[in-house]
Amino acid sequence: MYNNRYDILGCRNTAREANIQYYPNFQDGYEDFKSLLKSLVVNSDAKTFYKFSDGEYLFQKGVSDGSTSKGRRDTNVGADIMDLSLFREGIYKNDFYMVECYEQAHREFQECFPDTLPIPAEYPYGLIANKWLFKTFKGQIGIVGAKEKLELIQELLEYQEYRDYLGIDKFEDYISIPQKYACDDIEATDDMVKEQLQNATSKIFIEGIGHVKQALLWKMKEYHPAVYLSVGSGVCAVAGVQDCIGRPYFVNWENYRIKDYDYSKIDIWRDTGLEDIIWLEK
């Protein structure tokens, strides 16, 4: 049965995990998390928030399945063949850790991080979905994601209607990685991110770069001191290509899209809620 103790103001959760969530004092923790983010930004602290998932678990285990499979998204080699040493080392160098609030996710998390108390990954989902992050950090927030999606987001933000929807006029920085196979040449992807971040000005970034974050997220604060918050598919939401039905807390999200835009170049994981798309005229 659905448990409304895990509601987040301004959004609704219909993902399959919605009925099996468990986390003590979820609502108090949510308010504390918002306060923590605000404090870190005000004090110009450099911290990373790493989001762990079933895909992250498989990747660092060297298992090719779903997103970790050859040719799927993150790698054209496959997790079972790659040298994962930099990825396995990198996940332990972050400041805060997040995971979704259901039993399997916590079990896999504790296997990898037995002495770490995680933050619910549902919090950043909700803060994207209800747009709190954009309104709170307007003029201070940047974004890290796949190049094609960031280009699409910049196009979307040319429209006043979409700027009004998000509550911002622009992201201060757009830090891009290859949309496909960014894990295969990790040194090249690292150099790409480093070069861009050295000219950045944002005090907080939302990040959705898939499994490559295992090797790179912890490094970002060294390239440019800021808060780096993993939001996963939240970047897809901002690009108007979110799986609104399957992703936690996004069922009320409105995917804005541009008529006659070439969406074939965008890697869309799962296209649900198509009846809710709001089309913008070029």
pLDDT band at 182 (very low <50, low <70, confident <90, very high): very high
Q: What mean pLDDT comes out for the span 151-161?
A: 98
Each residue's pLDDT tens digit, 129-142:
999 999 999 999 99
- pLDDT for 91-119, tens place per residue? 999 999 999 998 999 999 999 999 999 99
**Quick one: what percent of the chain has pLDDT higher than 90?**
82
pLDDT value for 189: 98
Q: What is the pLDDT of residues 221-273, one digit of tens each?
A: 999 999 999 999 999 999 999 988 888 899 899 999 999 999 999 998 776 65
Q: What does the pLDDT read at residue 180?
A: 94
- The two tokens of residue 111 are 């296997």
Average pLDDT, the chain: 93
**Burial bucket for residue 9 (CB in 10 Å: 0-12, 13-18, 19+):** exposed
pLDDT level of residue 280 (50, 70, 90 thresholds):
very high
Give the per-residue pLDDT at 275: 64
Percent of the chain with pLDDT over 70: 97
CB atoms within 10 A of CB 218: 19
Q: What would the two tokens of residue 151 be?
A: 């280009």
Q: Compute how many other C-beta atoms are within 10 angstroms of the C-beta atom of residue 2.
A: 11
Predicted local distance difference test score (pLDDT) of residue 117: 93
Provide the pLDDT confidence category of residue 68 given band limits of 50, 70 and 90: confident
